[in-house]
Amino acid sequence: AQSVTQLGSHVSVSEGALVLLRCNYSSSVPPYLFWYVQYPNQGLQLLLKYTTGATLVKGINGFEAEFKKSETSFHLTKPSAHMSDAAEYFCAVKTGANSKLTFGKGITLSVRP
Amino acid sequence: SAVISQKPSRDICQRGTSLTIQCQVDSQVTMMFWYRQQPGQSLTLIATANQGSEATYESGFVIDKFPISRPNLTFSTLTVSNMSPEDSSIYLCSSFSGLLDTEAFFGQGTRLTVV
C-alpha cells in the first residue's frame, strides 16, 4: 500500500522568505513522487515530479524538491516566496505504471506582504 | 500531454436524484481514475476504471452509489446516485500518459451541489 503524509494544514511565510512544505511517503516499492498546486477555484497543476535518476528535481515557478529515500521524504522548497505562490499544495505518490495516484491531504500556503 | 474533456462543469441537483458525469480523452488510455474533492479537502480516489472490466472501488465507495462505465479506451462516465447534500463535491477524472505513465492529466472537474 502507498500513502502520503503532509504534516500540518497551513503554512504562512513572509514574501521573500524560504518556503518549505513537508511530505513523507510510504511505499513498498520505489515510488514516483509528485507535487501539485491548486489555485482557488482552479484545477491541479503539476509543479514537479521524481521518477528515477537525480534526486533533486526542479519544477516550475522556482520550486524544487529532493527525494530522500532514507528519510522517505520529498519536501518542496522555494528560496523566496512570492505573493502569487499562495495556493493549496498536494504531494502525491505512485508506485509504477498502471498504478493509482494517492494524494496527501494538502497544505495551504499563505504569503504575507 | 493528453486532454480530458469533462462535463458538466457544474450542476445543482435535488437530493434523491442522480447525475452522470462524462469524461472524453483525446487519446486512448488504459486506465481512468475518478476522484472526489470535498470542500477544503484533498483528492480521494473513488475508483479505477479499465476498459472491458468492472471498475475497482476504493474502501468506502460502492458500485451502487457510484456506478462507472468504461465502454472504450477514450471515454468513461461516473454516476452519483441517490444524491444527498453530503455528495456535494468536485468530481474529477484522470489518467496517465507518457514514459512510465507518470504524466497525470485531469479533467477540469464537475462542481456538484446537492440541495
The per-residue pLDDT for A8 is 86
Question: Which of A103-112, B43-52, B81-90 has the weakest average pLDDT?
Answer: B43-52
Contacts with A5 (C-beta within 8 Å, 6 or more apart), sequence order? A23, A24, A25, A26, A104
Q: Do B101 and A97 touch (CB under 8 A)?
A: yes
pLDDT over 90 (residue B100): no
pLDDT, average across residues B9-28:
96
pLDDT, average across residues A4-9:
91
pLDDT over 80 (residue A96): no
- Number of neighbours of residue B54 by Cβ within 10 angstroms: 11
The per-residue pLDDT for A98 is 72
Instruction: Report how far residue A92's alpha carbon sits from residue A79's, in angstroms, rounded to the nearest whole number.
Output: 22
- Interchain CB contact of A43 with B (< 8 Å): yes
A14-61: pLDDT as tens digits: 999 999 999 999 988 889 999 999 998 888 888 999 998 899 999 999
Give the pLDDT band (50/70/90) at residue B30.
Answer: confident
Contacts with B48 (C-beta within 8 Å, 6 or more apart), sequence order? A100, B31, B32, B33, B34, B55, B56
pLDDT, average across residues A56-83:
96
pLDDT over 90 (residue B18): yes
Instruction: Please indicate whether residue A68 or residue A42 has the higher confidence score (pLDDT).
Output: A68
- Interchain CB contact of A98 with B (< 8 Å): yes
In angstroms, the separation between the Cα of residue B12 and the nearest Cα of chain A is 17
Interface A–B counts its CB contacts (< 8 A) at 44
Q: Report the share of chain B in percent with pLDDT over 90.
A: 77
B positions 55-84 inside 8 Å of A (CB): none
The per-residue pLDDT for A72 is 95
pLDDT over 80 (residue B101): no
The per-residue pLDDT for B97 is 79
Q: Which residues of A touch B100 (CB under 8 A)?
A: 32, 51, 96-97
DSSP string for chain B: ---EEEE-SEEEE-TT--EEEEEEESS--SEEEEEEE-TT--EEEEEEEETTSPPEEPTT--TTTS-EEEEETTEEEEEE-S--GGG-EEEEEEEEESGGG-EEEE---EEEEE-
Of A37-51, A68-82, B86-100, give the range with the top mean pLDDT.
A68-82
The per-residue pLDDT for B98 is 73
Cβ(A104)–Cβ(A38) below 8 Å: no
> What mean pLDDT value characterizes chain A?
93
- Interchain CB contact of A44 with B (< 8 Å): yes
